Amino acid sequence: MSGNSMGLLFTVTSFGESHGPGIGCVVDGCPPGMALCEADIQAELDRRKPGTSRHVTQRREPDTVEILSGVYEGRTTGTPIALLIRNTDQRSRDYGNIADTFRPGHADYTYWHKYGIRDPRGGGRSSARETAVRVAAGAIAKKWLHEQYGIVIRGHMTQIGDIEIPFRSWDVVNDNPFFAADESKVDELEAYMDSIRKSLDSVGARLRVVAENVPVGWGEPVYDRLDADIAYAMMNINAVKGVEIGAGFGCVTQRGSEHGDELTPEGFASNHAGGVLGGISTGQDIDVSMAIKPTSSIAQPRRSIDKAGEAIMVETHGRHDPCVGIRATPIAEAMLALVLIDHALRHRAQCGDVQVATPRIPGRIG
């Protein structure tokens, strides 16, 4: 594979550029017989869609998905499911002035050096627009995991720039533009984001994604550990610079007597492991956090060079998210779903018939 596929048994192969005819993917390995229609996928796409509030890019894309194959009479057939999202709002003129320069913090520079050719229209393949594909594929995975195992995958922002956002309730996450789990923080966040935009700057973020009801036993040690594949999947989202499982970097100052989650007949007494031990799910919640860098494209003048290596100043105008982290919540959920379904299938292949006498301990967040 040349880098645009992920998953061994539930494989997503992605294609498309920001300003080309469209983006999409082929999902190979979805088990047959599951009810599936475009509306199932569209619901998730609409959560990530641009233009939904003033705090995200104002590009107008309906992100309408078409299922090209793999579904017959409303059910998956076991054959590849191809999804296509046509690009409609391609204002390439916004980007024309940057074709010969490199934006600080942007993939312009590396794509140019790697391929010797570069599609400057909206960042081409490096655009975060590709993440719509992940959300679409993830919607299929989410549906199957929920139907087969009752798995629920949800995310929320835990920090935007300097503002920490505590967890209050899942119920409010989809009702505010920040995927905040505490609605009392929304006004503060609105004002904060307005000030960032006014200063022609952008800001980083931190988010968390949780999968509940994952059975014990998923994950393939020693390399394709469940947490290793999660780290891969999260780090391959545009702009992510750090990933944590469970206690994450907090474990550095923990003692073993604190970190190691005790077991009781009623379940684990805590979840510092984040639902994974030895690379295999414990039956507790899978608990993942990640850091997302501030948007690279800002309207302030910055030092850079052009293709000839000459010093220039660059300002990036156009329609950019002032905090790319905000719309990353549904993307991170999708990525977690893609990892989990792949390991569900791998586990079914290898250990399908293993029966263990011990009662399975229900996981719970500590």
* H-run or E-run covering 59: none
CA distance 24 to 26: 7
Identify residues 73-102 at the interface with a second copy (CB under 8 A): 75-82, 84, 102
The rounded radius of gyration (Å) of the Cα atoms in the chain is 21
Under rule CB under 8 A, residue 152 binds a second copy? no
The DSSP H or E segment spanning 305 is: strand 302-305
To a second copy, the closest distance from the beta carbon of 70 in angstroms equals: 7
Q: Which stretch binds a second copy (CB under 8 A): 44-52, 170-178, 181-189, 293-301?
A: 293-301
**What is the rounded distance in angstroms from the CA atom of residue 107 to the CA atom of residue 98?**
12
- Between 171 and 255, name the residue whose CB sits nearer to a second copy: 255
- 192 and 291 in contact (C-beta within 8 Å)? no
Q: Residue 345, interface with a second copy (CB under 8 A)? A: yes
**What is the residue whose two structure tokens read 């469209």?**
22
Candidates 36-44, 172-180, 185-193, 273-281; binding stretch for a second copy (CB under 8 A) = 273-281
Instruction: Pick out residues in 172-201 that bind a second copy (CB under 8 A).
Output: 196, 201
238 is in an annotated binding site: yes
Q: Applying CB under 8 A, does 138 fall inside the site for a second copy?
A: no
93 is in an annotated binding site: no
Answer yes or no: are the C-beta atoms of 85 and 136 closer than 8 Å.
yes
Q: Is residue 156 within the footprint of a second copy (CB under 8 A)?
A: no
Q: What's the rounded Cα separation, in Å, for the pair 78 and 124?
A: 32
* CB nearer a second copy, residue 176 or residue 296: 296
Note whether 293 binds a second copy by CB under 8 A.
Answer: yes
The Cα 144–Cα 49 span in angstroms is 23
If phi over 0 gives left and psi between -120 and 50 gives alpha, with beta otherwise, what is residue 338? alpha
Question: Does 64 participate in binding a second copy (rule CB under 8 A)?
Answer: no
Quick check: 221 binds a second copy (CB under 8 A)? yes
Query: Which positions make up the binding site for FMN?
Result: 125-127, 238-239, 278, 293-297, 319
Query: Which positions make up the binding site for NADP(+)?
Result: 48, 54
